[in-house]
């Protein structure tokens, strides 16, 4: 270990804070990739969560925080975990500085922190990128999306449909993420990888912020980590482009210089990176196969226009008929357990359903009210025409539907053109 200078400086204090903060934020990387390690890290994770809940209640007056996973990376719980880890890092830096006043430099710990950040960022972005290269993060616009009003899309839904529309663009985004991440895995290409990821993650962060995607907390950290690595490795570029000075070679010595430790670390690196590539790629391919099978097996998936409809309310008055008449039945291509009923009045009802293809029946309940039930039997008259009958709440309904060909819509038929006589902006 190199000798260190004595004395406390702001740089020393900043390093101690960053060392504690990055390790706390990245908990429990890389152990959560190791099979069986969950039993060891789960108690620590639970203790951190309990501490965050307590801290949120005592310091911020936040009570009754939901802890069930929803798929959002910006849940209140995660913000409390972040502020708790930030506070802990500040405390660690203060205590560390009080206990170890003489040491000012930590060459090996600095190298360890840089290595940890490189691999943490690389493996996470490899995971994200593979789910774009095997295009499963964003599905193509479904039948429901194609017929819903444009203004009914959420900002995140609009982004998801934009990204899902072009498979090539989604793959391009994934290649950029994986390319930058793989470059981080090698010391000599870390600067190039960091620069690539600064560009990639700036775009991702702006999309998350501008379209309200609930991954703002995590993506912001990935961008900051990319910038941090670029700053650490980028001094030669500053000398070259801005100071007109010659560049000096950087210290590229490995974290472990003893031969046994070095090769042991190489084996661990190979196994860890290989496992992440294999597991994430396998998961992405399995998801792709599942999605493709859904589209093939969902014979009734798509949009069905109601051409005839009979319901007790339709005989009461014109106003009542207008309120209750069904205009469309929509079965999502990718979520066949969901059925949307669009009424002439514009009301859209979403049902959680189950299919009984043997008896040709569908049954379920309103997504937000289990007491509002629906049961329909269907008969296929032709590939385009179906007849339905059953109960809707407590009433009997009879209807005939014809499949609407979403493949004939402009978004599906308009293709790439080298020669465009005029801007085709609709």
**Domain coordinates in residue numbering, the chain:** 10-293, 302-408
Cα–Cα distance, 393 to 379 (Å, whole number) = 21
315 vs 251: which has the higher pLDDT: 251
The angle formed by the CA atoms of residues 131, 416 and 138, to the nearest 5 degrees, is 20
pTM, 2 dp: 0.89
At 354-389, the pLDDT tens digits run 988 889 999 999 999 999 999 999 999 988 899 999
The mean of the pLDDT values for the chain is 90
DSSP annotation string for 63-123: -S---S--S-TT-HHHHHHHHHHHHHHHHHHHHHHHH--SB---HHHHHHHHHHHHHHHHH
Yes or no: domain 302-408 corresponds to CATH 1.20.120.140: no
Residue among 296, 356, 349 nearest 326 (CA): 349
Q: What is the pLDDT of residue 243?
A: 80
- Judged by average pLDDT, the poorest of 38-47, 215-224, 247-256, 417-426 is 247-256
């Amino acid at each position: 270990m190199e000798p260190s200078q004595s004395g406390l400086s702001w740089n020393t204090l900043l390093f101690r804070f960053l060392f504690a903060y990055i390790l706390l934020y990245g908990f429990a990387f890389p152990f959560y990739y190791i099979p069986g390690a969950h039993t060891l890290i789960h108690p620590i994770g639970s203790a951190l969560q309990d501490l965050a809940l307590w801290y949120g209640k005592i310091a911020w007056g936040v009570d009754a925080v939901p802890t069930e996973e929803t798929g959002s990376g910006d849940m209140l719980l995660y913000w409390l975990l972040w502020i708790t880890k930030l506070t802990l890092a500040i405390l660690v830096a203060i205590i560390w500085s009080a206990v170890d006043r003489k040491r000012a430099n930590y060459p090996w710990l600095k190298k360890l922190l840089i290595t940890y950040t490189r691999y943490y960022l690389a493996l996470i972005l490899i995971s994200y990128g593979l789910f774009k290269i095997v295009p499963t993060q964003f599905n193509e616009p479904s039948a429901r999306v194609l017929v819903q009003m444009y203004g009914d899309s959420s900002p995140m839904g609009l982004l998801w449909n934009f990204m899902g529309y072009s498979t090539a663009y989604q793959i391009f985004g994934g290649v950029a993420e994986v390319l930058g991440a793989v470059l981080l895995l090698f010391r000599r290409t870390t600067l190039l990888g960091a620069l690539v990821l600064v560009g990639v993650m700036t775009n991702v962060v702006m999309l998350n912020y501008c379209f309200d995607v609930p991954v703002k907390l995590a993506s912001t950290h990935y961008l900051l980590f990319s910038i941090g690595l670029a700053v650490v490795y980028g001094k030669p570029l500053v000398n070259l482009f801005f100071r007109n000075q010659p560049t000096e070679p950087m210290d590229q010595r490995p974290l472990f210089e003893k031969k046994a430790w070095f090769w042991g670390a190489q084996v661990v690196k190979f196994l860890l990176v290989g496992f992440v590539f294999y597991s994430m790629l396998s998961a992405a391919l399995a998801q792709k196969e599942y999605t493709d099978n859904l589209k093939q097996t969902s014979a009734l998936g798509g949009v069905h226009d109601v051409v005839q409809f009979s319901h007790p309310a339709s005989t009461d008055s014109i106003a009542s008929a207008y309120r209750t008449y069904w205009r469309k039945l929509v079965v999502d291509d990718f979520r066949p357990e969901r059925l949307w009923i669009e009424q002439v009045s514009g009301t859209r009802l979403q049902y959680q359903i189950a299919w009984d293809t043997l008896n040709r029946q569908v049954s379920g309940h309103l997504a937000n009210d289990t007491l509002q039930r629906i049961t329909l039997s269907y008969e296929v008259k032709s590939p385009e025409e179906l007849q339905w009958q059953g109960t809707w709440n407590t009433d009997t309904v009879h209807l005939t539907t014809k499949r609407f060909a979403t493949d004939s819509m402009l978004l599906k038929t308009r293709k790439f053109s080298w020669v465009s006589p005029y801007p085709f902006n609709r």
